Structure 1
Amino acid sequence: MTSTTTHGRPRGFDREAALDRAVRLFWRKGYETTSVRELGSELGIGQPSLYNAFSGKRALFDEAVEVYDRKYGGFVEVALVEEETAVDAMRRVLTEAPMQYTRQGLPCGCLVFGGDAGTDDSDVRAWLSNVRNEKTRGLKGKIQDDVSAGVLPEDTDVEDVAAYVMAVLSGLAQRARDEAPRRELEGIARIAIAALPRTQSHD
């Protein structure tokens, strides 16, 4: 008889495809309300195989967040690298967010902002908080560079501006999860963009 498993996993098990399905399940439901049983069903494997392949729900969630940010998120980091100024980067991020959070065929919202909703697991909260804070630090660094270069006024509150952009993104993600139409999110983004600090003229 031919074995149907390999090292505790079904023969032909595609780990990357299974991981992508896990990303989408956590994205839809968050860490707390996603059960091991649901994960097994979504990935098409039993609980022992799930532990063999991913070391359990928590380890799978951590990996799912990393994959999400690399494959589906990460637009904040891209803007910070590709845009010349912090204001341009923030405008781009806020402009793109409504589309990012309402893509057809994908869950609404953002796993990084919503994945820890409702959980009492302090490690999960700390993990996602660190991911969010890392993005905030990236924004702060870009803004501070522009202040130092005279692109933005000296009195620009670097921390508050970065926190403001992240708070707007969080709100947009939540509105998307609440099934608000994209046009509403775009309207919110326009208001937020209008409140950004203005670059200084050096004419």
Structure 2
Amino acid sequence: MAGGRPRAFDSDEALDRALEMFWRQGYEGTGIADLAKAMGINPPSLYNAFGNKQVLFQKVLDHYADGPARYIREAFEQPTARAAIEQLLHGAADATTDPDHPRGCLTVQGGLACAPASAGARDELATRRAAGETALRARLEQARAEGELPDDADPDGLARYFSTIYQGLAVQAAGGASREQLHKVVDFAMCVWPSQTSI
């Protein structure tokens, strides 16, 4: 097992272990030696299979999107914008308090504080968060065009609001808030949904 044969490991399992490390310790706090040990491979094999630390981090983020954060994609499959956002936020409340994973959200907490040398990881996370807000805005604009939202609704403001709630849930979860408390926050947050009778 330690003989250094290339690819003599399960790639998905190795990514799971790297994900756990980055999620617990953040990008800055996770070193190559930590990653190699957690993934059960030596550093040369890690570089050969996954590239450098930043490339590995990007692969971990993609793995995260397909795994613990797949609820995001599933939420956007809902037939209405309101159902999509409600499922997204309740999904975040569940995911960020899942006892099988570290608390919080990798994309929110993974690289908020980074040294200049790690700016690439911080920027990658910021780009992914911005893409999420853009997707929300597009869904809300579609909802307004289709009559689900009133004509005077503000898709841009709503997208920023719900993105802020979404990220705040992760921060609250990391700080120890319970799943029940976070679901209550979501219920309050949805109270701002514009009604068709608004003027």
TM-score, length-normalised on structure 2?
0.90
Match of 1:80 in 2: 76
Give the letter for the 1:43 counterpart. M
Q: Contact between 2:72 and 2:91, CA under 8 Å: does it hold in 1? A: no
Q: Which of 37, 42, 56 in structure 2 is aligned with 1:41?
A: 37
CA distance in structure 2 between the aligned counterparts of 1:136 and 1:126, rounded to whole angstroms: 15
User: Counterpart in 1 of 2:5?
Assistant: 6
Q: 1:178 aligns with which of 165, 175, 178?
A: 175
Q: In the alignment, which residue of structure 2 is the partner of 1:93?
A: 88
Letter in 1 for 2:108: F
Cα offset, 1:122, TM superposition = 2.4
SS of structure 2 residue aligned to 1:129: helix
How far apart are 1:118 and its partner, in Å?
A: 1.3
Q: Give me the whole-angstrom Cα distance separating, in 1, the residues matched to 2:154 and 2:111.
A: 29
Alpha carbons 2:92, 2:169 under 8 Å: kept: yes
Cα distance in structure 2, aligned partners of 1:56 and 1:93: 32
Show the counterpart of 1:164.
Answer: 161
What is the CA-CA distance between 1:166 and the residue it aligns to? 0.9
Q: Which amino acid aligns with 2:183?
A: E
2:142 paired residue number: 145
Report the TM-score when normalising by structure 1: 0.89
2:18 equivalent to 1:19: no
Counterpart amino acid of residue 139 in structure 2:
K
Counting aligned pairs with the same residue, the percent is 32
Give distance in 2, aligned partners of 1:74 and 1:128.
17
| Correspondence for 1:131 | 128
> Which residue identity is paired with 1:97?
A
Alpha-carbon distance in structure 2 between the residues aligned to 1:52 and 1:27: 23
Structure 1 residue 110 corresponds to structure 2 residue 105: yes
Separation (CA, whole Å) in 2 of partners of 1:72 and 1:188 = 21
Contact 1:119 1:125 in 2 (8 A): yes
- Cα distance, 1:57 vs. partner? 1.1
Aligned to 2:190, which of 165, 190, 193?
193
Correspondence for 2:26: 30
CA distance in 2, matches of 1:77, 1:142: 13
**1:84 shift after superposition:** 1.6
State the shift of 1:21 in Å. Answer: 0.5
**Deviation of 1:43 (Å):** 1.0
Check conservation: 1:77, 1:138, Cα contact below 8 A.
no
Contact in 2 for aligned 1:98/1:172 (Cα 8 Å)? yes
1:169 and 1:24 map into 2 onto residues whose CA distance is: 21
How many pairs align?
194
Whether the 8 Å contact between 1:26 and 1:111 is mirrored in structure 2 is yes
Deviations 1:33-56 (A, max 9, x none): 111111111112222222122112
Deviation at 1:156, TM superposition (A): 0.9
Q: What are the ranges of 5 or more consecutive residues in structure 2 without an aligned counterpart? A: none
Instruction: State the shift of 1:139 in Å.
Output: 1.1
